[in-house]
A and B are shown apart, each in its own frame.
Chain A
Amino acid sequence: SYVLTQPPSVSVAPGQTATITCGGNNLGTQSVHWYQQKPGQAPLLVVFDDSARPSGIPERFSGSNSGHTATLTVSRVEVGDEADYYCHVWDSSSDHQVFGTGTRVTVL
């Protein structure tokens, strides 16, 4: 089955940039989506189709995808960005949806 690998944790100071990676075989050929999940809440879509932002999501959230790695970048990090982040794709070979292992972002 298709595997999406994320770093378990990323630490960043307020005002700096957080970079969260998602690795998978030929991931660049697929559409990658990203979710933010805060404790006790449902996930929130922050980036879809590699780099598009849903309405209401700040421009500070951006995404890219190439080769075997997709990246979610959070610029000018705020304390409120502290959360778990998950990448997600539809694996066409298995016809199943796949989530990444998740990354906890800590704002120092």
Chain B
Amino acid sequence: QVQLEQSGAEVRKPGASVNISCKTSGFGFSDHYMHWVRQAPGQGLEWMGLIHPKSGDTNTAQKFQGRVTMTRATSVNTIYMEMSSLTSDDTAMYFCARDFYGDYSAAFAIWGHGTMVAVSS
């Protein structure tokens, strides 16, 4: 079945970087946009950016440009999100999500379980 398996929780100190993975299965890896969404404790959903696994093209939300890098490894059907210069404001649950039908405007039909990142000195 369609699955998005995310890497485990991370704890980092301020100023450090974190790299989260999202392994996909059950669908054509090259057929859908993959998105990253985060949610700070008690807060709403915040879109971070997307990657198209076939081309590697990315689109990063303005807020995260220069600090977030999204990549993919087609050999293992996995996408990655690296965030640098972490602050306590980056403490959040990070989700990967797959679009519904391979279009920019499509809904996010499938979600990973989330990866908790805690930033604390």
Report A's interface with B, CB cutoff 8 A: 1, 30-31, 33, 35, 37, 42-45, 48-49, 54, 84, 86, 88-90, 92, 94-102
Contact = CB atoms under 8 A, between A and B. Distances in A.
Contacts of B37: 43, 99
Contact of A43 (B45, B50, B59, B62): B45
Given A37-B45, A102-B44, 20 more contacts: A35-B108, A42-B111, A43-B37, A43-B97, A44-B111, A45-B100, A45-B107, A54-B109, A86-B44, A86-B45, A90-B104, A92-B105, A96-B62, A97-B47, A97-B61, A99-B37, A99-B45, A99-B46, A100-B44, A102-B45
21 contacts: A1-B62, A37-B45, A42-B95, A42-B112, A43-B95, A43-B97, A43-B108, A44-B111, A45-B107, A45-B108, A48-B107, A54-B100, A88-B108, A89-B105, A90-B105, A92-B105, A94-B62, A97-B50, A97-B61, A98-B47, A99-B47
Interface residues of B, number: 23
B114 interface: yes
A83 B28 CA distance: 32
Given A42-B95, A42-B111, A43-B111, A96 B104 contact: no
Contacts of B112: 42
A31 B95 contact: no
Contacts, number: 62
A96 B47 contact: yes
Contacts of B59: 95-96
Contact of A42 (B50, B104, B113): B113
Interface of B: 35, 37, 44-47, 50, 59, 61-62, 95, 97, 100, 104-109, 111-114
Nearest to A86: B45
**The 8 A-B residue pairs with the shortest CB-CB distance in the complex, in nearest-first order:** A33-B107, A48-B107, A42-B111, A97-B47, A90-B105, A102-B44, A99-B45, A45-B107
